[in-house]
Structure 1
Amino acid sequence: MRRPLRIPLAWQLALAFFAVSTLALGSVGMLSTALTRSQFRTLLSEQERARVEAQLQTHLQAGGTLATFRPDAGTGTLGTGKQGEHPARPERGRRSLFILTDPQFRPVGAGPGVPPLGQRERAAAVPVEVDGQPVGYLVARGRPDIEGANAAFLRRTAQAIAWATAASALLAALLGGWLARQLLRPLAQLRSGIAALGRGEEPTPLPPRLVQDELSDLLGSFETMHAEVVHTQQAGRQLTADIAHDLNTPLTVIRGQLEAMLDGTFQPTPARLSRLNDQAGRLARLVGDVRLLAQADAGELPLRARRIPLAGLLEDAVHALADEARARGSRMQLEVPADLNVTADPDRLRQVLDNLLGNALNHAPGSAVTLRAWAEGSGVTLQVQDAGPGVSPQELPHLFERLYRADPSRQTGSGLGLSSGLGLSISRSIVQAHGGRIAARSAPQGGLIVEVWLPDVT
């Protein structure tokens, strides 16, 4: 298949500027030339009429008559001729520009049988007055021929218009090329940005533009997308490395214990088998968490939402962690109205509560952990508050990122569902799948507050 001709967009725009300007300027030039010629003819005709009218007035004031009037030669002439001859006969080689009539619009010297002029010619007639009284009329017949110096003047005028049109078209082409380069500069920046994105490079800050337009918006959106893609790629690589590390740790423990048991170094006691089972459970939880996040990313997280009373669900979540709280010296508090309901998947919502409560117990041992719920607007708000060391403002925006761990004072302990570093990410995915939102903030008196808002869809 023949490869199509490639013409840069800048050239296309420059050619478009040139074509449009040439067409427009050519049309204006042709119209100007025609209008100039027409107006010049009208000017000559008016000058001739005024000259003949002045001569006729002088002739009549000197005692002459219409029949004896003979104008001097000009650009056009009129003659009366002898009785019965063709009126307004011009000199040889010239044509008559005007017909001279009497007050009754009868051509002078035309004889008694010639009828007066028609209404159209009468409307265009110019009266010739002597002492304020009309003594006749001049009626234009045709337009003057343009010859000699007049023709040369019009020719030079047409040439000047043509040269001006050509110069303007050339200037428009040059200006169009420059404007095309300026207008397409953002596209060149966008192309280089796409190439950098393909290489996985960090986005380069774009220079500010003097004029903000749709291309500026496009570049801004692409720059934001570029930064997000690079961040996602980096987060994906980090996630893979962290998951590989988290998988390797329990696998190493399990493999080492099994090898020791196989070669007789260790005896397979119930305690050692229990530790192996804990490590296998940790592996299973991590794999399940990764699978759940993959489903959430693909928009395939299964939800079985129904109308449920919140009080019972929250009490079960608190009671399930009561022993762990006592072992850590923490107190669990629950504040929820008895008649508060919400439309949600109870299993997924329980998973969110387990993650948030377990996170609070791990990070705030020996303090109170409070779970509250209340109706807010068109939905329901759940709040988990602990009295631990809290989180710095710089770390708050990253809490829900995958495998993100805050400073060591708030790092996860063992076995409460967040050892994989994915608990808060999973909670966010579940909440968003319900159409809700989740956010974290520091408590004024210390500690962390995590709030979940769910729409109350009935």
Structure 2
Amino acid sequence: MRVRKRFGALRWRLFAAFLAVAVSAVALLALLAAVSVDQRSALLAEQQQGQLRNEIASALAAAYVAGSGSWRPQDLAVVNALATSGDASVVVADDRGREVARMGPGTHGPAHDPDGTGHSGGGGTPEGTPEPVAASTAIPIVVDGRQVGTAQLTLPATEPVPVAAARTALLQRVGLGALAGVLLAAVAAAVVSRRMSRPLLALAGATRAFAAGDLDAGTRLRPAPGELGEVGAAFTEMAATVRRQDELRRAVVADVAHELRTPVTILRGQTEQLLDGIAEPTEQHLVSLHDEVLRLGRLTDDLATLSAADAAGLALHTGPVDLGTLTREATEAMRAQFTDAGLAVHVEAATGIEVLGDGARITQIVTNLLTNAVKFTPSGGRVTVTAGREGADAVLTVTDTGPGIDEEELPHVFERFWRGRAAGGRSGSGIGLAVVRALVEAHRGTVTAARPAEGGACFTVRLPAGERRSLDPGHHADRGEAGE
């Protein structure tokens, strides 16, 4: 099972694929080279045989001239040497067809047959050992334009020794080159398959470690080339996001526990005092208990809103509502909190800014933004709230003079459980702005955060506006001013 698994691994499959392609290419090239060598060898042998025929014909003509009209043995030495070098046999006949000489290997020199009996004085080929021969060729012997005889040239069936030797040497080189090519291809396939499989194996190991709870597994991945590197980088980014979300979840558990512990502790302490008779159920005590209950209610409502938004089950009771009116009412409801925090609030909200939405949810949007401004604006600061219309959008802005938001933190301010450096030791669960985004998106709007040049923070909500309601003459945008 282990061997099967090993050879079934991606690395070995890549190696086998690369090697198969390389071997196929090398084999094809070697085959083409061998065919080319065979063709060139055959052409070379044919050229040499043609050259041999021409040289023998010229030598026989010269011997005839030297013998004054006959072929003497001493004049045929050159012809015999040519025939012997070409491993060919030459039979010379005069113009009447009588054989006058036989030359070639095994004749021990030119054999003269002046009687035309066809028997020369040489030894010839031993009896019982016939040599394979190719087709014979008749070569006319021409002197001064007149044919004085015929030479019958018989070539061996095998190719000439020099050509065969050259052919063998070339084929050996082709074979060695093919073998070297296969070895180099194997080395290259091993290197490439390893480089391609190593990042994938590392990614698989990191994925298993990540699944086992090691959230830092992605940071140990090495950079890889091409698309493999992009896959590794995507995994590292995903692991970092999950790790950050896990850290945020851990932080929010502590924050929510703190947020719950404070009102619960107050409720328990005051109710125990009432039960023990230490304190009287005065209006002040009851108001304090009611405030803590409302605080718990707001926290649980925020958590429920986020949960419903995640499950796509956030219910909206939509209808035409006036954004300006809702803004003024939400700000007025928080006037006491502004006063307690020592903040001045300026409201500029036009009437008749109709949007199709859930009035309670839009009020929650305004309230959460104002609560965030109260939390981060120091005493003596100012919060400005505006509601108006820009083109087809109804626009709500909440601007404060607090410490502002760092540029690198702006993309994260609407993430749930996110708490920036400016939060410091302030209490809070980090879900208020996340609720704002969920509610705005449920109304098909957008919300953004910015850091104005003069400092502080500015939150802008854009919602699709309905038809502008007609205003009575003299009905202008309401302006409100609240101070410390």
Q: TM-score range by the shorter chain?
A: 0.7 to 0.9
What is the correspondence of 1:385-424 to structure 2 with a 5 Å cutoff? 385-391=399-405, 396=410, 399-401=413-415, 402=417, 404=419, 407=422, 411=426, 420-424=429-433
Displacement of 1:261 after TM fit? 2.5
Q: In the alignment, what sits opposite 1:34?
A: 35
Match of 1:266 among 270, 279, 283: 279
1:67-146 superposed matches below 5 A: 73=83, 74=86, 93-96=132-135, 145-146=158-159
CA gap 1:176/1:375 in 2 versus in 1, 3 angstroms = farther
The corresponding residue for 1:334 is 348
Deviation at 1:432, TM superposition (A): 3.7
User: Shift of residue 229 of structure 1?
Assistant: 0.7
SS of the residue aligned with 1:439?
strand
Q: Which range is displaced more, 288-297 or 397-406?
A: 397-406
Question: Which residue in 2 is equivalent to 1:113?
Answer: none
Deviation at 1:268, TM superposition (A): 3.1
In terms of fraction of residues, the more strand-rich structure is 2
- Aligned 1:358-397 pairs, distance under 5 A: 358-364=371-377, 366-373=380-387, 379-391=393-405, 396=410
**Structure 2 equivalent of residue 174 of structure 1:** 187
Matched ranges for 1:151-300 at <5 A: 151-198=164-211, 199-202=213-216, 203-204=218-219, 206-208=221-223, 212-300=225-313
Give the superposition deviation at 1:52: 1.8
> Take 2:274 and 2:370, find their aligned partners in 1: how far apart are those partners?
37
Could you report, residue by residue, the CA deviation over 1:286-328 in whole angstroms, capped at 9, with x for unpaired residues?
1121121122234443345666554444344344445654665
What is the CA distance between 1:228 and its match in structure 2?
0.5
What does the per-residue CA deviation read over 1:5-24, in whole Å, with 9 as the maximum and x for residues that have no partner?
44332222222222222222
| Residue aligned with 1:372, SS | strand
Please tell me whether residue 430 in structure 1 is matched to residue 439 in structure 2: yes
Matching residue of 1:14: 15
Mapped contact 2:400–2:457 kept (Cα < 8 A): yes
The Cα of 1:218 is off from its aligned counterpart by: 1.0
Judging changes above 3 Å, is the alpha-carbon distance between structure 1 residues 157 and 147 closer, same or farther for their aligned structure 2 residues?
same
Higher mean C-alpha deviation, range 143-152 or range 176-185: 143-152
CA shift digits 1:2-57 (9 cap, x unpaired): 99644332222222222222222122222222221121011110121133234446
Where does structure 2 lack aligned partners over 5 or more consecutive residues?
66-70, 72-78, 105-130, 146-153, 468-484
Tell me which moved more, 364-373 or 40-49: 364-373
Q: Distance in 2 between matches of 1:453 and 1:76?
A: 105
Letter in 2 for 1:217: E
Per the TM alignment, residue 165 of structure 1 is displaced from its structure 2 partner at its CA by 1.9
Percentage of pairs with the same residue: 30
Amino acid at match of 1:204: T
User: 1:391 touches 1:448 (CA, 8 Å); kept in 2?
Assistant: yes
Tell whether the 8 Å contact from 1:440 to 1:449 is kept in structure 2 after alignment.
yes
Aligned-pair distance for 1:335?
Answer: 4.5
Q: Distance in 1 between matches of 2:338 and 2:220?
A: 50
Q: Is the 8 A contact 1:310 1:342 kept in 2?
A: yes
Letter in 2 for 1:400: F
CA distance in 2, matches of 1:379, 1:83: 122
> Where does residue 26 of structure 2 map in the other structure?
25
Equivalent of residue 445 in structure 1, options 454, 467, 471: 454
Number of residues of Structure 1 aligned to a counterpart in Structure 2: 406
CA contact (8 A) 1:335 1:372 kept: yes
What secondary structure is seen at the aligned counterpart in 2 of 1:95?
strand
Paired letter, 2:135: S
Question: Quick one: distance in 1 between partners of 2:387 and 2:96?
Answer: 122
- Structure 1: which 5+ runs fail to align? 101-107, 110-127, 132-140, 413-418
Task: Identify which range, 367-376 or 181-190, moves more after superposition.
Answer: 367-376
Verify the 8 A CA contact 2:353 2:465 in the aligned structure 1.
no
Aligned CA distance change for structure 1 residues 272 and 341 (closer, same or farther; 3 Å): closer
Q: Aligned to 1:350, which of 363, 366, 373?
A: 363
Q: Is the 8 A contact 1:242 1:403 kept in 2?
A: no
CA separation in 1, counterparts of 2:239 and 2:410?
23
Residues in 1 aligned to 2:463 and 2:92: alpha-carbon distance in whole angstroms? 107
Is the CA contact 1:368–1:386 (under 8 Å) kept in the aligned structure 2?
yes
Q: Choose the corresponding residue for 1:301, options 309, 314, 337.
A: 314
Partner Cα separation in structure 2 for residue 382 and residue 143 of structure 1 = 107
| TM-score, with structure 2 as normaliser | 0.69
Aligned counterparts of 1:432 and 1:77: Cα–Cα separation in 2: 105
Q: Measure, in 1, the Cα distance between the counterparts of 2:245 and 2:285.
A: 40
- Work out which of the two has the higher radius of gyration on C-alpha atoms and give 1 or 2: 2
Deviations 1:62-106 (A, max 9, x none): 999xxx9x9964366798989999xxxx99742127677xxxxxx
- Aligned residue in 2 for 1:317: 330
Cα distance in 1, alignment partners of residues 5 and 62 from structure 2? 81
| Conserved? CA contact 2:343–2:383, under 8 Å | no
Q: Offset of 1:208 from its aligned partner? A: 4.8
Per the TM alignment, residue 224 of structure 1 is displaced from its structure 2 partner at its CA by 0.8
Q: 1:152 to 1:284 in 2, by over 3 A?
A: same
Contact kept? 1:307, 1:342, Cα under 8 Å? yes
On the 8 A contact 1:48/1:75 being kept in 2, the answer is no
**How far, CA to CA, are the matches of 1:76 and 1:372 in structure 2?**
115
CA-based RMSD: 4.3
**Could you say which residue in structure 1 is the equivalent of 2:51?**
50
For residues 389 and 5 of structure 1, the distance between their equivalents in structure 2, rounded to whole angstroms, comes to 61
